[in-house]
Structure 1
Amino acid sequence: MRRCTVALTLCLTSSAFATQCGNTTIHSAADADALRKACRVVDGTITIPPTLDHLENISLDGIEVINGDLRSYKCGSINIKRRSPTNSSVVSFSSSSLTTIHGDLALDGCIPDFTNISFPNLKTIDGAFDLANAASLAYLDVTNLDSVGYFRLFAPTLVTMVHNELRNVTGAHGTKKVVVEQTSLTSVDNLFRNPLDIGDSPASIEGKTIMFENFPTQTLTNATFGFARAGSLSIEGNGTLYVTLGGPDQTTMALTNLTFSRGTAGLIRNPQLANLTVGTVTLGSYFEGANNFTDLLLPFDSMSSLTILNEQTLTQLELPPQAVNYTNFSVTLYGCTNLNLSSQFATNPDGTTRQTWYWPQKDIKSLSLIGNISTPFL
């Protein structure tokens, strides 16, 4: 009889723990402590509400797996705080034990004023990595995160991201996108340099930084894009951004659309990239700011459409020898007032000449050229 009583007590204790490890809303550091001490595996979703004490550090040490989401409430807007971290307390959200989230990591502008988010051993997120916390985030540690459903980062005040590399994008909510919007990072190569295949999903690198009063911002000056395939690649620079196509372990790249919307100063093709194909290439726009290209070589083995709009700094445009094999090729040039298209040849610094523009020899679908153009160019 005594043994039966002990066994019954153990069963009740296990059941109580299971109940605690389901869907949970953390209202305080005390709530987080109770959860992490009781649960190695959380079978539901952990929610961080905007009512959480903004000055409390939240630790989830002890939790290893979350079978649902780790998320904030959705507020639908981003609340950017213009303040100096030197005059603010460091408020952290962390777990050194968390390795897996089977749902989403989705934190937006409704979460409290975390300046540090640290999940150094988080390796896999089956759902989305969707971090749009622009409130005051300055430091992000996801050192070992290598597999996500999709990746989105929007944090203008983020100056440090500790991360090895992204190795796998599995697809979540209908997309494999990898998007970095406004940050104050000096490099995002850890996310973009590997030869990932994201299919028809978009990739986006934004080097534009909002300037904050008394807040130390940095500038993204170089970005390496190494995806093997992407539906579109959109680049928005800050006036000094140089983009390299082709990562260190890559030989082929195929893009459906490539867009430089503004602020990019240079485009480089990695010499080891054996094959680089793109559908449409667009530089500039009719209504928004332009890029900072001056002498631009378009280094594509295959391209079907080229549109260049209002690129005021562009003086020389080169189409490579591979262009003779382009098919159904279309070109639109408008508003490039300093672009000289008077000849297919240019003079080198040593006085020799070289061909800088190669026309497709198979067929051309359409031409719309407005600018400084002479007959020898045609």
Structure 2
Amino acid sequence: MGGVGAQRKKQETESGAGAPYIAGARPQRSVSALTDAELVRRCRDGDREAFNALIAKYQNHVYALCCHFVGDFAAAQDLAQETFVRVYLDLQGLREVGKFPAWLGKVTTRVCQRALSRRSRLHHEDIDALPESDLIDGAAESPAEASVDGETRAVVSTAVGKLPEAQRLAVTMHYTDGLSYAEIAAFLDVPTTTIRNRLHRARLQLKRGLLTMAEREFERHRLPEKFADEALHEAKVVDIIWSEGPEGDRFPVLALAPTDSPDMRLPIWVGFPEAISIHMAMTEQRSPRPMTHDLLVRVLDAANARLLKVVVSDIQDGVYMGTLLVEFGEDVKEIDCRPSDAIALAVRADLPIMIAKKVVGQEDTWTPASELGALVDRCAKANLVITTRAAPGDDEDE
């Protein structure tokens, strides 16, 4: 069987970080020595270490391109994290694994363009009412806009902003982390000579002093060292607790723990049916007749489908968003769902639950296990309940 039911047995025969490689055939190389194609194949088999290696290798490429689009270092870091969540979900669809850098560049561009589109909708203004000095293309601004030194920021922004777009992008990518001509060319899917010529023309236009100032600005805003390890957190359900609201109502709360920090917790409020379903799966209890999630497992098995990944991918207006990745033969489908349903299936398939950095925030708001009960009580009494509804407006899982 190729479905979820067969997955637990399959994983019990695998060793290492979830990648089904045969032990004893030959010594396995360190992930740092693997090619992009080898890393991609391992990622597809669930090797988390390989995925982290891909992030570490290309995080600065992605960050630089995001900087170019949004002109703000903090926003660019958020978009870089969002890009790698997208990569984690879309990697199964990459047909030519040897062209991963160019594919990654296109994924990054789409993420940035969607973000700019959202920003445009949320902050729409009547352009005719703006002064001419404000009519500056945001994508044309250098990431030096985030500089603390206002004078330096203005000088660098003006100088780099006057460069043609292709040259601006080359300068941003080269000076963000010293990316080579070949690395930038592979990521943007253009010839190396094109990047060399763009940088040469940009340097001719920028005075040496301005170029040094620009380099310092990029140097000050590099990604944190742990970026690769924190883009996605791997977690599992360790407990189900109960919270009591101000009117005596009781709500079940899932307690998720990251695998690398087992003493920390993330609470997710769910509905009674989902809590019962997850509890029965965790304790390996069976109901007389199939529950909804057991039925879904059987349907996947009957369709020869396989659940690949479970991700708590976003949080919007206090609502967690979930994503399933399901393999149907040679086709892979991404399915939007409530995290409570996704988690119920993950427990049955013995899959880790991946949580996007955006969900826990930049400050990693995991709660110590010893403080979880008090936190849940405070939230419940104040009616601050974070739900797992599929979309705002549902009446379930409050």
TM-score (norm 1): 0.18
Structure with greater proportional helix content: 2
Higher relative contact order (CA 8 A, sep 6+): 2
Bigger-Rg structure (1/2): 1
Structure with greater proportional strand content: 1
TM-score (norm 2): 0.18
